[in-house]
Structures are given as C-alpha cells and as structure tokens.
C-alpha cells in the first residue's frame, strides 16, 4: 500500500524497488566491517596534528559547563535548579549550554581539516551527510567521547529521565561539515538516539539555523516549528526523536559535533527507528546501542 501511494503500479516497478531495498540492506550490512578496516589503517598510518585533542581534558570544557556539572553532581540537585543554568526553547525540551572553549574548538577543527586533507580512507556519517568524520574511526571513542557522555549523565538524568537519561551507556559520534559548494543543509529527520548533543564548533558562517518540529512518536496535525541559532562552542541537547533539520547556510563554513547517546535499557524494549521489539545481530563496538541479556553482548537491530 505504501509503495502504491508513492507511484508504484506495475510488477516491474515493484521488482525494481525490491532490488533497491535489497541492495541497500547489503550495503548496510557491510558498513561495520568497512569501518573496522578503515580504523585499522588510520591507527597505523595517520599522524595527528594535535594529538592532545583525542583525550578529554577539563581545560577543553567551558567554565560554565564545569559549573553546571558541579551543580548536577551536588546533593539536592533538581530539574528546576538545572534549568536556571540553561537556555530553554519553547516546550519541546530543547536546551542550549556552553560545552567547549574557543581554543579547543579551533584545535579540533585544525585536526579534522588535517585528517580531511590526508590520504586516509574516510567513512561518512550517514546517508544524509556527505562531508564529515566518523570519530570512532579516528580513535576518539574511549579517550574522549565516552568520558564526555558520562559527564553529561547528571544533566540528562534530570532532563530526560523517561528516555534513560541516567543510563545512556553507548553513543555514535561524528562531525558534519556544511559549506557553499558541499552540503548546504539537512532535511527533516529524527535521530537513532534517545538524547542528542549537537555542538557548533565554528567556523565563520551565516544563516543555517536548526529547526525543530514535533516529537516523532507524538505528531500533531499541524506541527509547529521553531528555529534555533548555532553559537560556536555551545551545544544543544534534545530528544533524539525530536524531528529537526538544518536550514541552508548563506556563506562560510560550519562544522558540528553530533553525539547520539543511547540507553540500552530503553531501546532493548522498543527500537526507536522501527518501533518494534528489536531482534539482534552481532556488531562491533557499540553497534546501534542494543544489548542482549544474557550474555551482555552489544548488537544492532536487525529490523532497523
């Protein structure tokens, strides 16, 4: 029925769509092994320009972030107290906070550009972003991204308790790049995550605001959209299921760090992408954030 509504009428049209679906399934099955192979080559051959940015340090974090972290870890910390430190946008539970210093953003951008200009193999973040870097392939998962996710837990526990905010136990992280002659914008979508952190790293750019609509599992007949401006070094926290996109930039170049944070306790019950009980297959690393019990093995959703 869905295919008929989109113009499929003949048997040949249905067969062609089926061939495309099967080819895409095979492509996705190969992604993990291809990523493992790229990471091995990068680990062996790539020479970082700024090796210090690969390990999270307090000096990378904005003083305001450290203050928020101290508050959330203190006895009696509550949601109302946390909200006094954050910028809130409408009733969509979107929050902005300082994350990184300007100096760190500049150093990380120089490192990413150095990698982009190298002859290393490069995987791209997803089918919607053609320019950017998968940070696990650079070896940043354990020394940088896992500590960052863990330091966000006291915040997300208060902001998103029903989404497993206190037990976000895995992630997928990548950097996306927008410029005039490459990707300009990003169409409406929702993330394969319980909670998303989106940090603008800079450079100079104009326009390109994010826009947010309904929560994917609670759409309204006439959705209301809001726009949120990017600010370098500052991050937006939002529910992964919040429908959103990026408007076109008008000039310059913008890089964003995206961290999809996942809770196996939540997604083991219901896959956020297909809205079914997940059937798991083995995967390297964090997979798609599902776990199988027992034994505690990480996997991905076979229906996704």
What is the pTM for the complete model shown? 0.87
Does the structure show a pLDDT above 90 at 292?
no
- Top-confidence residue, 23 or 133: 133
Q: Please state the domain count of the chain.
A: 2
The answer to the question of residue 283 being in a domain is no
The answer to the question of residue 301 being in a domain is no
Write the pLDDT tens digit of every residue in 194-209.
999 999 998 877 778 8
Q: How confident is the model at residue 151 (pLDDT cuts 50, 70, 90)?
A: very high
Q: Please, is 149 exposed, middle or buried when counting C-beta atoms within 10 Å of its C-beta (0-12, 13-18, 19+)?
A: buried
Q: Give, for 177, the enclosing helix (H) or strand (E).
A: strand 170-179
Does the structure show a pLDDT above 70 at 186?
no
Which residues span the domain enclosing 14? 1-45
> Quick one: 114 and 199 in the same domain?
yes
273: which 2 tokens? 């992408």
Does the structure show a pLDDT above 50 at 303?
no
> Quick one: 101 and 194 in the same domain?
yes
The answer to the question of residue 279 being in a domain is no
- How large is the greatest C-alpha to C-alpha distance in the chain, in angstroms? 65
Ranking 141-145, 193-197, 237-241, 288-292 by mean pLDDT, the lowest is: 288-292
> Quick one: 119 and 168 in the same domain?
yes
Average pLDDT over residues 149-169: 96
d(CA 154, CA 17): 46
The answer to the question of residue 286 being in a domain is no
> Quick one: 73 and 190 in the same domain?
yes
> Quick one: 62 and 41 in the same domain?
no
d(CA 220, CA 214): 7
> Quick one: 67 and 205 in the same domain?
yes
CATH number at residue 219: 2.60.120.620
Does the structure show a pLDDT above 70 at 302?
no
The answer to the question of residue 184 being in a domain is yes
The answer to the question of residue 207 being in a domain is yes
> Quick one: 70 and 38 in the same domain?
no
Average pLDDT over residues 201-230: 83
Does the structure show a pLDDT above 80 at 244?
yes
Q: What share of the chain is helix, strand, coil (3-state, %, to 5)?
A: 35, 25, 40
Q: With contact defined as beta carbons under 8 Å apart, do 227 and 96 qualify? A: no
Q: How confident is the model at residue 12 (pLDDT cuts 50, 70, 90)?
A: confident
Q: With contact defined as beta carbons under 8 Å apart, do 213 and 223 qualify? A: yes
Average pLDDT over residues 128-146: 87
Per-residue model confidence (pLDDT) at position 14:
78
> Quick one: 1 and 94 in the same domain?
no
The answer to the question of residue 165 being in a domain is yes
Average pLDDT over residues 15-38: 79
> Quick one: 157 and 38 in the same domain?
no
274: which 2 tokens? 């297909």
> Quick one: 115 and 261 in the same domain?
yes
Average pLDDT, whole number, for the chain? 86
> Quick one: 90 and 124 in the same domain?
yes
Write the pLDDT tens digit of every residue in 51-96.
999 999 999 999 999 999 999 999 999 999 999 999 998 889 999 9
The answer to the question of residue 287 being in a domain is no
> Quick one: 178 and 164 in the same domain?
yes
- Top-confidence residue, 275 or 50: 50
């Amino acid at each position: 029925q869905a295919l008929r509504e989109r113009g499929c009428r003949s048997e040949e049209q249905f067969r062609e769509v089926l061939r495309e679906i099967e080819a895409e399934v095979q492509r996705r099955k190969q992604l993990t092994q291809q990523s493992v192979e790229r990471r091995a080559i990068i680990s062996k051959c790539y020479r970082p320009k700024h090796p210090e940015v690969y390990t999270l340090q307090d000096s990378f974090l904005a003083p305001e972030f450290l203050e928020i972290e101290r508050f959330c870890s203190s006895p009696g910390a509550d949601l109302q107290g946390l909200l006094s430190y954050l910028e809130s946008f409408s009733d969509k539970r979107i929050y902005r906070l300082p994350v990184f210093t300007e100096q760190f953003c500049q150093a990380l951008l120089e490192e990413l550009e150095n990698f982009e200009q190298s002859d290393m193999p490069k995987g791209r973040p997803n089918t919607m972003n053609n320019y950017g870097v998968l940070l696990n392939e650079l070896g940043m998962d354990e020394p940088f991204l896992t500590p960052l996710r863990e330091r966000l837990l006291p915040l997300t526990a208060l902001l998103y308790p029903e989404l497993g905010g206190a037990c976000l136990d895995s992630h997928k992280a990548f950097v996306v790049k927008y410029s005039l002659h490459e990707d300009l914008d990003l169409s409406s979508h929702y993330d394969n995550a319980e909670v998303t952190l989106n940090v603008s790293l800079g450079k100079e750019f104009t326009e390109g605001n994010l826009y947010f609509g309904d929560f994917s599992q609670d759409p309204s007949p006439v959705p209301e959209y809001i726009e949120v401006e990017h600010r370098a070094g500052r991050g937006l926290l939002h529910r992964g299921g919040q429908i959103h996109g990026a408007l076109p930039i008008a000039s310059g170049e913008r890089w964003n760090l995206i961290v999809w944070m996942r809770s196996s306790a939540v997604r083991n019950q219901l896959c956020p992408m297909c809205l079914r009980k997940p059937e798991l297959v083995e995967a390297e690393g964090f997979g798609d954030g599902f776990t199988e019990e027992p034994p505690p093995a990480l996997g991905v959703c076979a229906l996704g």
